[in-house]
């Protein structure tokens, strides 16, 4: 598809680059995941929908992360604000940035990732990102705003692990791509069982019939 990018997507790409600028000392420990990683793998001509996302998602490889400088200090020094949940940040332009660690590498706990001196608030644990540490490639990311000439090389997750896209999945710690963000269709309920048909013929209230047929 061609044409101008959505203004929010342009801002999301700028926030991605702002994050990389802030976390430059740890650049080799960061892997881009989520919708922006998918778009970098897929050319405009091959997309069924327009490129659009309003956030930036990163996976951190703890084994490649230095103890200093601290992730939180670097982000706040550049004007990023911590959000309510661990790993959630708000860029100076008001764009959501999510910093995550694969569940298997996040240490003990249920939400925040344990990253030694970086604490447990800088990043959060997320399921399904383990492959980002091995299924990745180097790529140069550029701004979408013609007036922004930044170009930064970093790790990009492979398509099989990049799709941590759905906000509900991120909040629930699911990043396995099982809930596609766009084009999601609701599963049709299964056909009624013999018991359901008997209840329907017996004249049960509509609400009871609807409940019995829900998937």
pTM of the model as a whole: 0.74
Token pair 């999945």 is found at 169
Give the tens place of pLDDT for each residue, 195-204: 444 444 444 4
Rounded to an integer, the average pLDDT of 63-85 is 97
Say if residue 147's pLDDT is above 70. Answer: yes
pLDDT over 60 (residue 46): no
β-strand pairing of 88-90 with 151-157: unpaired
What is the residue whose two structure tokens read 């740890």? 26
Helix axes 206-213, 194-201, angle to 10 degrees: 170
3-state helix, strand, coil in the chain (%, to 5): 35, 20, 45
Q: Tell me which residue of 71, 73, 43 sits closest to 58, measured CA to CA.
A: 71
Q: Tokens representing 152? A: 């930064």
Domain boundaries, the chain: 7-172, 185-215
């Amino acid at each position: 598809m061609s044409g101008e990018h959505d203004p929010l997507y342009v801002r999301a790409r700028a926030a991605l680059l702002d994050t990389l600028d802030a976390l430059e000392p740890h650049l080799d420990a960061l892997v881009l995941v989520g919708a922006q990683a998918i778009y970098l793998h897929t050319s405009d001509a091959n997309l069924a929908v327009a490129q659009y996302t309003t956030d930036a998602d990163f996976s951190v490889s703890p084994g490649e992360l230095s103890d200093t400088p601290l992730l939180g200090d670097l982000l706040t020094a550049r004007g990023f604000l911590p959000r309510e949940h661990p790993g959630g940040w708000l860029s100076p332009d008001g764009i959501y940035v999510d910093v995550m660690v694969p569940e298997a590498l996040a240490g003990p706990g249920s939400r925040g990732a344990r990253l030694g001196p970086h604490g447990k608030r800088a990043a959060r644990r997320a399921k399904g990102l383990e492959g980002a540490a091995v299924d990745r490639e180097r790529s140069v990311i550029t701004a979408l705003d013609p007036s922004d000439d930044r170009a930064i090389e970093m790790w990009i997750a492979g398509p099989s692990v990049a799709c941590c896209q759905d906000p509900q999945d991120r909040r629930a710690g699911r990043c396995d791509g099982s809930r596609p963000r766009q084009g999601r269709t609701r599963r049709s309920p299964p056909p009624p069982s013999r018991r359901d048909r008997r209840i329907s013929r017996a004249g049960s209230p509509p609400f009871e019939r609807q409940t019995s047929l829900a998937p």
